Structure 1
Amino acid sequence: MKKDTSFYWDKACTNAFNKIKEYLLNPPVLRAPVQGRPLILYIAAQIRSLGVLLAQQNDEGKESALYYLSRTLNGAELNYSPIEKTCLALMFAIKKLRHYLQAHSGQALANFLADHPIPDEWKFSEDLPNKDVLFIELSESWKMFFDGAARQDGVGAGVIFITPEGEVLPFSFSLTKCCSNNMAEYQALILGLEMAVNIKMSHLKVFGDSQLVIRQLLSLYEVRKLEFIPYHKYALKLITSLDCVTLT
């Protein structure tokens, strides 16, 4: 507004103000996934960035956001063609959301078999006798995915558990102390392991996108940075507290 300029609060101003209040009172929030419902994946490739949105329909038939990811393109990626950027966005989504994809792979196979039934006259291969095909060994293992990242607005950690029944349990944390990405990965791992110990999980499969952290815990890499040593020792202590833990 300029000085000495009259201002009139008309109906249009009232409507705009009410819309702002309505939006602030009902902000879009991420929701937890509902077991048994199909997931919807959206990917977008822009000139300098990629975007991924995982959604699911709610009880009213409207789509609710479950997870949102984005990243900037770097180096040679900026020169990719539109189709190459789209493929890169899909690979980015598969890598970051693999816990959701793995949890629903059985349903995808079931849908395929339902749409393509095996003819009655077909016989099983001798390498797979009927008695072996008709039975599946159920795994009682839990799965845990961890991810930590340092950004300009703070440090965050995410942990996702998948129960033996396939239920997805996501958790997110805000870390108060600034640190590097690898340090954030260690803290995310420790938070997840502490939860696993408290719940008394007997078998746990751990997945992380930080190869440094995973390989250090597997003794494939040496822990050279002094600030990592306490976290490394504590993570190993938590792992030994569980009956069976596999790291991937």
Structure 2
Amino acid sequence: MVTAPEPREDLFIYLSVSEHAVSAVLLRDRGVQQPVYYVSKTLVDAETKYLPLEKLVLALVHATQKLPQYFQAHTVCVLTEYRPRSSVKGPILADFIVEFSPKGGKEMVYPVEVILWKVFVDGASSALGAGVGIVVITLEGIKLEHSFRLGFKASNNKAEYEALLAGLRVVLDLGAKEVEVYLDSQLVVN
């Protein structure tokens, strides 16, 4: 079962190569290693003629291109050989992925579904005043709705900014660590 890592948790990556594919398995270790993400790349053309070390480098490059967020947010230790530990599954999983990777240039990427808080915000302005609407969906799927009038005159763009700020304040007060924010203002999104 794949799992999501904790923020800034140390991760391990096992690399594996074969004649026709390379793979990488990203793991967290809490006494028992648990897969976080895994990727595989089928070798094509000249890649099949690479030396084993070059294939390992290719596996690492492919993993860093597909999973940059993990390499930026975590310390990642690269492992390429089996080391006995309590319940080490990483090398076995990496070898399995390589063995059963599709041939013919196809690529396999298996994402981990990370459930985040969702925040939907919208702001609007008219001659009668400006207002904000916020919908928060918690990790448990609980929907919290709130709307209010702004106590000052605001353009539509200003109302959109205020909606975003109010939505972020709400989830911060509720203890959210990571959120996805949805809004319809191209200006605010950019």
TM beyond 0.5: no
- Select the structure of larger CA radius of gyration: 1
Higher fraction of strand:
2
Higher fraction of helix:
1
TM class by shorter chain equals: 0.3 to 0.5
Return the TM-score normalized by structure 1: 0.34
Return the TM-score normalized by structure 2: 0.44
